[in-house]
């Protein structure tokens, strides 16, 4: 078995942190994947690289020798990659981002704009689609990073919580309705629904399943749904982050549901089997910083 660049990079991070869990977070993968990469290295060299004990882990003599030698090698490889990218016209790199409609249209643009202010030589391309299509883009290596409201089914993708977005009822501004509104009253209204493959569509169908409903339109994307509601076509269940602009402009009325707060839990997704470029890592770190900071709570609670 040949030693791979990814295995050496994982080893270096584990040795630096002396922690499998911290190393997994730093290299954007799962702890079992990190442990598996170390096991393969130890099988290849036929010596233990770490001493595993109850308090934690430490390097063996063989591990220390390997760690000292690979640091400069991996640093040279990372520098060479950046040089080659410059010859390809990528400057500091490019990142392909995929996202579902709400995140891609209403949350991520401001985050990406803030990222580019301090990373002006990185090019970010974003593909906005429904949940099923977003998964496919990452699985086919057509996107390095994705934001989706459903955990991927495949183990080839690393997934971590990103943010939660409440789902609310949007109505035409001249439509009277209780505040909050019951699910039964919502079901009596003419309804504008999302397309098949949308998580919002799935939640709305499950919520209204016990009732007879009148779906007057089925539209692709949150923007089309919000515009249809503003035009008086009917009511819809929409993510709060997507409808704020229409609500604040007085174009629609927003109501929460009685005794129910459905929400989308969004996840940050990327492949753990492929090498992540410095540009991709920088964007993931920025998304994590937003998720952990005040900007996240401010943007989603208004």
HSE-CB at 174 with a 13 A cutoff on CA atoms is 3
- 94-163+265-301 maps to which CATH number? 3.40.190.10
**Whole-prediction pTM:** 0.62
- Report the alpha-carbon distance of residue 108 to residue 41 in Å, rounded: 38
User: What pLDDT was estimated at residue 101?
Assistant: 84
Task: Decide if pLDDT at 42 tops 80.
Answer: yes
**pLDDT tens-digit readout, 83-123:** 666 555 445 678 899 998 889 999 999 999 999 998 888 88
β-strands 190-194, 214-219 pairing:
parallel
User: What pLDDT was estimated at residue 259?
Assistant: 78
What share of the chain has pLDDT > 90, as a percent? Answer: 54
* CATH C-level class of 5-87: mainly alpha
Best mean pLDDT range from 101-105, 224-228, 271-275, 278-282? 224-228
Average pLDDT (161-180) is 92
- Report the alpha-carbon distance of residue 265 to residue 148 in Å, rounded: 8
Q: H or E segment at 152?
A: none
Helix axis angle for 61-87 and 5-17, nearest 10°, is 120
Same fold? 5-87, 164-264: no
- Report the alpha-carbon distance of residue 208 to residue 117 in Å, rounded: 44
- The architecture CATH gives domain 164-264: 3-Layer(aba) Sandwich (3.40)
Task: Decide if pLDDT at 131 tops 80.
Answer: no
Higher pLDDT, 42 or 29: 42
Task: Decide if pLDDT at 129 tops 80.
Answer: yes
Domains in the chain: boundaries? 5-87, 94-163+265-301, 164-264
């Amino acid at each position: 078995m040949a030693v791979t660049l990814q295995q050496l990079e994982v080893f270096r991070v584990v040795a630096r942190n002396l922690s499998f869990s911290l190393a997994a977070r730093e290299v954007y993968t799962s702890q079992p994947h990190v442990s598996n990469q170390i096991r393969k290295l130890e099988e290849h060299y036929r010596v233990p690289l770490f001493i595993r004990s109850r308090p934690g882990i430490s390097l063996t003599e063989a591990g220390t020798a390997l760690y000292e030698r690979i640091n400069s090698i991996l640093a040279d490889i990372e520098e060479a990659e950046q040089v080659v990218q410059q010859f390809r016209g990528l400057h500091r790199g490019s990142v392909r981002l995929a996202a579902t409609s709400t995140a891609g249209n209403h949350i991520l643009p401001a985050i990406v704009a803030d990222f580019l202010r301090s990373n002006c030589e990185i090019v970010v391309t974003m593909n906005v689609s429904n949940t099923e299509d977003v998964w496919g883009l990452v699985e086919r290596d057509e996107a390095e990073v994705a934001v989706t409201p459903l955990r991927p089914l495949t183990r080839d993708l690393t997934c971590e919580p990103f943010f939660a977005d409440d789902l609310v009822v949007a109505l035409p501004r001249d439509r009277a309705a209780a505040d909050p509104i019951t699910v039964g009253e919502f079901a009596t209204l003419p309804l504008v629904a999302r397309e098949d493959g949308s998580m919002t569509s799935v939640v709305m169908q499950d919520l209204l399943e016990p009732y007879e409903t009148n779906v007057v339109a089925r539209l692709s994307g949150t923007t089309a749904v919000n515009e249809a509601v503003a035009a008086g076509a009917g009511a819809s269940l929409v993510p709060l982050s997507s409808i704020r602009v229409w609500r604040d402009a007085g174009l629609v009325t927003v109501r929460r549901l009685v005794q129910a707060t459905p929400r989308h839990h969004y996840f940050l997704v990327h492949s753990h089997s492929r090498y992540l470029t410095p540009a991709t890592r920088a964007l993931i770190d920025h998304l994590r910083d937003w998720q952990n900071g005040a900007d996240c709570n401010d943007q989603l609670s208004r």
